Amino acid sequence: MTRIFSGIKPTGHLTLGNYLGAVRHWVATDQRPDEALFCVVDLHALTIEHDPARVRRLSRQAATLLLAAGLSPEKCTLFVQSHVDEHTRLAYLLECTATDGELRRMIQYKEKAAQAQASGDGVRLSLLTYPVLMAADILAYETKEVPVGDDQRQHVELARDLAVRFNQRYGHTFTVPKATYPAVAARVMDLQEPTSKMGKSGGTGPGVVFMLDEPEVVRKKVMRAVTDSGDGGVVYDPVERPGVSNLLDLLAACTDGDPALLAEGYSGYGALKRDVADALVEVLRPVRERHAELAADPAAVEKVLREGAGRARALARPVVDRAYRTIGLLEP
Ligand code: TYM
């Protein structure tokens, strides 16, 4: 069995980056509920300035959208992180395994701490310890594979390091996980700032396509996407030509193509943008329509989440209990 686990943070509306980099690949894993676990990681949304009502709303929306994208309770376990205490129980043991130095080296911590400081908010301690809780999310389930976008590389690496260190010190307790990335669109870039990741919370408004954007909005954002200065034509070169390469990546992801080969079919940006817009509209359309249906029946979504939490708890409990014993804590 290849147990897989992944999560998504309700800090903003889900984006095209979330969909193409992660969610779509979760849907494609044809597994059993005890093999594939997907989690709305709401505790992680509290690491930055937050509005309680908005976090609640976004958590519900994220779960609904994951179901709309095609996750099915027959094939996976979908749940909300704060419904399963094992995550925070394990996080403390992993805080006793990690070092201050390795957490301060995390790129996302440095970036987000700088943003929080610049806007006058204090840096929450949980922003520093966030990757430890993420490691707990993963290790509590004996996870083998973590399907994520490229920006989670350093975090999953930490989860591996902590698993190995814990096992070496106290005896074998955790499965050592590995990250898996999509072949294309592992890092979808902001359409207005193609050297930055397309993000839920940090991105530019017009450069971020949201999964629930109306077709006309998607089209407008794509047609206004920044292409690179100079007249180099349509070539795939993510370093020198990040804007046009991002568009080619999006097209490749939607059409199952190869971005460098696709480039050969275009002589101008206009035609490329039109094709990208059409492809994105078609990929997102069924998800948006299904979301509208599911959002009309919140009780059904809540039932899925409640059952999911029950299943997740049953899987995590013995793993976390075992870690409590091996690290030296008395049995209650
Ligand atoms: P989050 O909520 O930022 O993103 C969820 C997933 O979407 C991917 N992603 C992207 N992929 C490609 N291009 C983009 N522009 C893009 N933006 C986001 C992310 O890589 C991720 O796979 N720390 C995690 C949540 C988390 C988690 C976990 C993930 C918490 N615990 C345990 C896996 C396992 C995060 O902030 O994801």
Is residue 112 among the annotated active site residues? Answer: yes
Pocket test for ligand 1, best of 3, 4, 5, 8 (most atoms within 8 A of CB): 8
Read off the pTM. 0.96
Is residue 75 among the annotated active site residues? Answer: no
**pLDDT range class, residue 228, cuts 50, 70, 90:** confident
Q: Is 137 in the pocket of ligand 1 (CB under 6 A)?
A: yes
Q: Cα(159)–Cα(5) distance, rounded to whole angstroms?
A: 12
**How far does residue 21's CA lie from ligand 1's centre (Å)?**
8
Q: For residue 197, which of 261, 259, 233, 153 has the smallest C-alpha distance?
A: 153
Atom of ligand 1 at shortest range from CA of 198: 15
Bridge partners (DSSP) of residue 6 are 38
Mean pLDDT of the chain: 96
Rounded average pLDDT over 214-219: 97
Q: Give the pLDDT confidence of 64-113 residue by residue, as tens digits.
A: 999 999 999 999 999 999 999 999 999 999 999 999 999 999 999 999 99
Q: Give the pLDDT confidence of 114-133 residue by residue, as tens digits.
A: 998 998 889 999 999 999 99
Q: Give the pLDDT confidence of 28-42 residue by residue, as tens digits.
A: 998 888 899 999 999
Bridge partners (DSSP) of residue 197 are 189
Domain ranges of the chain: 4-181+298-327, 205-292
Residue 231 pLDDT greater than 90, yes or no:
no
Bridge partners (DSSP) of residue 147 are 180
The token duo for 13 is 């509306």
Q: Is 152 in the pocket of ligand 1 (CB under 6 A)?
A: yes
Q: What is the pLDDT of residue 76?
A: 96
Provide the CATH number for the domain formed by 4-181+298-327 in this structure.
3.40.50.620
Rounded average pLDDT over 130-141: 98
DSSP secondary structure string, 134-186? HHHHHHTTT-SEEE--GGGHHHHHHHHHHHHHHHHHH-S-SPPPEEE--SS-S
Q: What is the pLDDT of residue 205?
A: 86
Q: For residue 287, which of 25, 105, 69 has the smallest C-alpha distance?
A: 69
Q: Is 187 in the pocket of ligand 1 (CB under 6 A)?
A: yes
Q: Give the pLDDT confidence of 259-300 residue by residue, as tens digits.
A: 999 999 999 999 999 999 999 999 999 999 999 999 999 999
Q: Give the pLDDT confidence of 5-20 residue by residue, as tens digits.
A: 999 999 999 999 999 9
Q: What is the pLDDT of residue 173?
A: 98
Residue 1 pLDDT greater than 80, yes or no:
no
Q: How many CB atoms lie within 10 A of CB 83?
A: 17
Rounded (5°) CA angle 158-163-166: 120
Is residue 220 among the annotated active site residues? Answer: no
Q: Is 138 in the pocket of ligand 1 (CB under 6 A)?
A: yes
**How far does residue 22's CA lie from ligand 1's centre (Å)?**
7
Q: Give the pLDDT confidence of 184-208 residue by residue, as tens digits.
A: 999 999 999 999 999 987 666 899 9
Atom of ligand 1 at shortest range from CA of 152: 20
Q: Cα(45)–Cα(127) distance, rounded to whole angstroms?
A: 10
Atom of ligand 1 at shortest range from CA of 148: 22
Whether 4-181+298-327 shares its CATH topology with 205-292 is answered no
Q: Is 312 in the pocket of ligand 1 (CB under 6 A)?
A: no
**How far does residue 242's CA lie from ligand 1's centre (Å)?**
21
Provide the CATH number for the domain formed by 205-292 in this structure.
1.10.240.10
Q: Is 253 in the pocket of ligand 1 (CB under 6 A)?
A: no
**At CB < 8 A and 24+ separation, what contacts does 95-103 make?**
95/129, 95/132, 96/327, 97/162, 97/165, 97/166, 97/169, 98/131, 98/132, 98/135, 98/158, 98/162, 102/158, 102/161, 103/128, 103/129, 103/131, 103/132, 103/158
Q: How many CB atoms lie within 10 A of CB 116?
A: 17
Q: Is 43 in the pocket of ligand 1 (CB under 6 A)?
A: no
The residue whose CA is least distant from atom 9 of ligand 1 is 18
Residue 234 pLDDT greater than 80, yes or no:
yes
**pLDDT range class, residue 306, cuts 50, 70, 90:** very high
The residue whose CA is least distant from atom 20 of ligand 1 is 149
Residue 230 pLDDT greater than 80, yes or no:
no
